[in-house]
Amino acid sequence: MFIERIIEAVERLETFPEMGRRVPEAEEENIREIIFQNYRIIYWLETEQVLILTILHAARDFNKTRNAWVVN
């Protein structure tokens, strides 16, 4: 199933948290993403923790959705 494959992609971050690239639109270096099909799985990378911020369809505008999940 689709959801199960997204979960598998996210679970890989547990072993390889730096596998995602830095999000080009984000100023913060800790905001990273992995691509799964047509989706961007955007996450916050800390030393010992990965926090999933959002799963965003690639056609959506990153900057328009950012206020809903901004990290302070």
The dihedral sign for the CA sequence 39, 44, 50, 54: negative
Tell me how far apart the alpha carbons of residues 46 and 17 are, in angstroms, rounded to a whole number.
Answer: 9
Number of domains in the chain: 1
Where on the phi/psi map is residue 37: left (φ > 0), alpha (ψ -120 to 50), or beta?
Answer: left
Distance CA 46, CA 72 (A): 13
Q: Is 51 part of any domain?
A: yes
* Any domain includes 52: yes
pLDDT for res 68: 62
Query: Does 30 reside within a domain?
Result: yes
Residue range(s) defining the domain that contains residue 18: 2-65
67 has a pLDDT exceeding 90: no
Q: Is 25 among the domain residues?
A: yes
Tens of pLDDT, residues 26-65: 888 899 999 999 999 999 999 889 999 999 998 887 777 7
Q: pLDDT category, 70, cuts 50, 70, 90?
A: low
Look at residue 12 and tell me whether its pLDDT is greater than 70.
Answer: yes
Would you state the pLDDT for residue 59?
86
